[in-house]
Amino acid sequence: MVETVIHGGTVVGPADSFEGDVAIDGEKIVAVGDSESMPDADRTIDATDALVMPGVVDPHVHIDDMFSFDSYESATKAAALGGTTTYIDFGWQAWTGEMSPWDEDGTLLEGIERKQAKAEDAVVDYGLHAAITREDPAVLDEIEAVVDAGVPSIKLFTAYEIGLQNGFMDRVFGVLADLDAFAVLHTEEATICDDRTAQFQADGKGDSEWYPQSRPDYAEAIAADAAVHMAMEAGCRYYGIHTSCRKSADVLARYRDQYGEELVRAETCTHYTTLEESIYGELRNLPMIAPPIRTADDIEAMFDHLGDETLDVVSTDHCGYTKESKQVANWWDSKFGANALQTNLPVFHDEAVNNRGFSYPFLVRVLSRNPARIFGLSEKGTLDPGTDADVVVFDPNETYTITAEENASEADFSIYEGREVTGRVKQTFVRGELVADDGEIVAENGHGQFCRRESTDWSF
């Protein structure tokens, strides 16, 4: 006798899908197969006409810091309602400056502990990246302890006041390579973006329609090229985050051809696969995100590279900002970032599967399997027996219209407002516990746990 059998759905794995059942006992999946082979269960969940998939693993999420008003409670509830069962947030090395909430410097380990203390009320599981924000050589000695704390991925920026110069990044790549840890890069060539922004400010071009031109695609590509080149010289594994454009994706694909998937991996985000820059005329500052939302051709490039597997992952870059924090006269005064945890799976499924004919296994690869494997979450992103029972039951046929009125996030708008999508999350399980059921949170706060991640190799 087991606790739960999810019965009669289409079970989707990274390679194929089949009609069958998934059995759960305690926190683990204990069997996957045809109905006749299932053990008896206390509870049977009817998944007829629904997909049964591993929960979404979102490796790029901002919670409860200067980049998000969301608490772990509000964000993890949004995640659960959206079918995301694990996300990776950021532990920040404290710095001082205009963007900083701190008045003194701190360490990476403090940043990690600070986030863990904030996560008490989580309902889904989470991990952390460590983000280096200052060129303080002391941080290089700290990285080994960070990796040992279950945080083998270090985020580096090339832009903003937390951007690092190439010289310092070059040193970080060397340290990471020695520890077999890896780098997660936000790449935009800072001087191009800063100079253009200053010109727009001088010319009074504060309307959001100008914004995409302030951070051009080639600035993203130039910085990606330099960063991945340095990482490869050091033999350091490189993960490019929020790839937004053809020029940048082509750069990453070129290095990947040369060095292999063992060393180069990358993501795009749902908004770069579904929205065009005209949205800045429609929604003004609400979709203000860096890099900017770009052109129809860039959307095609994202799907080309996802299709040929030179992009691995689709993430959200979720930032829980409110409408009020966005409704300022000039785009440069707006908060940068938008919420998407609750809408990610339905929106990406609708675009990739319904509009473009990608398969359900493709969805599982880019939303679950690949991020789990790349980020060392061996219990996640799979329905294999023995792993964590993180499961989403998804009705691919229900049509609904996205509205921020349903948001669990502190963010009271959606960049997908009014978008009609076909496909809706029915149930979400995290380690065997039903956390979201038909649009309601049914788990107690605190079910979510910190995931210590291992540094695992990327040859898969």
Give the interface with Zn ion as residue ranges (CB under 5 A).
Answer: 317
State the DSSP code for 215: S
Instruction: For Zn ion, give the closer residue by CB, 153 or 387.
Output: 153
Q: What is the C-alpha separation between 411 and 71, in angstroms, rounded?
A: 11
Instruction: For Zn ion, give the closer residue by CB, 265 or 426.
Output: 265
Cβ 1 to Zn ion, closest distance in Å? 45
Q: What is the C-alpha separation between 5 and 25, in angstroms, rounded?
A: 9
Instruction: For Zn ion, give the closer residue by CB, 87 or 362.
Output: 87
Residues 6+ apart with CB under 8 A from 254: none
Instruction: For Zn ion, give the closer residue by CB, 322 or 422.
Output: 322
Instruction: For Zn ion, give the closer residue by CB, 317 or 433.
Output: 317
CB 411 within 8 A of CB 39: no
Cβ 315 to Zn ion, closest distance in Å? 8
Cβ 317 to Zn ion, closest distance in Å? 4
Nearest residue by C-beta to Zn ion? Answer: 317
Among all chains, which residue has been given the structure tokens 């936000």? 186
Cβ 62 to Zn ion, closest distance in Å? 6
Instruction: For Zn ion, give the closer residue by CB, 25 or 188.
Output: 188
Three-state DSSP class for residue 400: strand
Residue 179 identity: L
Instruction: For Zn ion, give the closer residue by CB, 170 or 317.
Output: 317
Cβ 448 to Zn ion, closest distance in Å? 20
Question: Residues 439, 47, 77, CA angle at the centre, nearest 5°?
Answer: 25
C-alpha dihedral over 315, 173, 309, 259, to 10 degrees?
180
Buried b (16+ CB within 10 A) or exposed e, 300-334: ebbbebbeeebbbbbbbbbbbbeeeebeeebbbeb
Cβ 304 to Zn ion, closest distance in Å? 23
Query: For the purposes of burial, counting CB atoms within 10 Å of the CB of 442, is it exposed (0-12), middle (13-18) or buried (19 or more)?
Result: middle
Cβ 356 to Zn ion, closest distance in Å? 25
Neighbours of 17 (CB within 10 A): 19
